[in-house]
Structure 1
Amino acid sequence: MDYWKSKVLPKMRLIFVKAGGKKAAAAAELVKSFDESKGEINSEFEEKKADLQPKVVEIYESVTAPVKVLIKERKKVSAIKKNSAAITKLFEDLANIEFPGAKQVSEGISKVGPALLSSPIFATFEKIAKLLPVVVEETPKEAPAATEEKKDEAAAAEEKKEEAADEEKKEEAVEDKKEEAPAAAEEAAPAATAAAEPAAEETSAAPAPEAEPEAAAPAEAESAPATAEETPKAA
């Protein structure tokens, strides 16, 4: 165990460091070569892009979703290493259609892998993105219709607000009438009472009917027999 730690592991680490150093150096040379040929690559791209577009779109549709995102965004270098196999295949396909700079990058990937060639890879992805069709969300004719719908919705909302305000006013008016009715009744009650009091006084002050005719009737009855008795005496 001590021999493994003291002798074997240090030698293995040295081998990996040397290999990594050589690979990094080779990758730096490849990136430098690509950067020096950018002018030629850009010129060739402008000349061929009309013919390349349908082929590039076909290749783009065949790649995985993470690679599609990487082609459009070109931000995460770590995503290159995670999708190294798919990117290797992509550049092989691009080299087959003679996409400018693709063969150079594909050969570099076979030597050092894609992770160390992020700069040439992203530069190629930028050109691929320029050839992809633009997705149109809505047709221009539909835009005015949407605007009219929004206007109609706004008008309907205003009408609802006005109706609600009218309803509130009506409710307030009804409430005011309900409140005014008891007050009017209270005001009318004293007046009715005051009007009833003089009528009661007049009724009580009126003289009672005379009972003289009733008393006179018996008097007349008494005088009648007296007359009857006097009649035979005269005979």
Structure 2
Amino acid sequence: MSTITITKPSALLHMAGLDLKALFGAVLAHASDDEDDLPDLTKVHVEVREGELRLACTDRYTLAVVRRSLSSTTDGFTCQYALPLGEIKALLKDIGDSGVHLTFEENQVRATFREETSVISGCVSGVPWRMALNRMLEPADTPTGRIAINPRFLARLESAMPLSPAEPMRLQMCGEHKAVIATLGTSFLALIMPVRTRSVGDEQPEDRPLDGWFDLLDETPSA
């Protein structure tokens, strides 16, 4: 792989192709693939600050953020923008298992691999993901007895496991109407929004979801 020389304010990240796929894959599962959806939901949101890369994606139902220390950066360099989801996926597919240099510049990302260079231009990032974290990470004084979750959203968390295969993912509930928070150390964080339970006709939301299972406790095990 060729050596990258910094000629203007930027940040560099050197990674193996598989590691880069794991890094982006952890958040891509939380973006929207619907072209008719809000444009900001079909993008990868990038932030470089204090020698660290942050990537974020959301489709409004879930939000995920990954953090990774950069290989090098010019003093005081920061940037923040959004990258098209389709272009990122195409880049990851093209890279394969090759090693790659990512150069984060003011308004674009430059990927160098197999002596080739691909450039993806950024646009204004319209997702205030840090504001969402500020709102959801506030401590809750009242314990949460139960919460309703769409299991398809929980399944998205599996995409982050390659970041730390041996580490268990930790879940925390912060209130009946607040997100479930999932973390892998300090490298990955996701918010899973709860489902609002509503009455349907004369039926009311199930306030005692375990009642329908207690009958099993009274049964005699089969011989």
Which has more radius of gyration? 1
The structure whose residues are more often helix, as a share, is 1
Same fold (TM over 0.5): no
The structure whose residues are more often strand, as a share, is 2
Q: What TM-score do you get using the length of structure 1 for normalisation? A: 0.21
Q: What TM-score do you get using the length of structure 2 for normalisation? A: 0.22
Which structure would you say has the larger RCO, counting Cα contacts within 8 Å and 6 or more residues apart?
A: 2
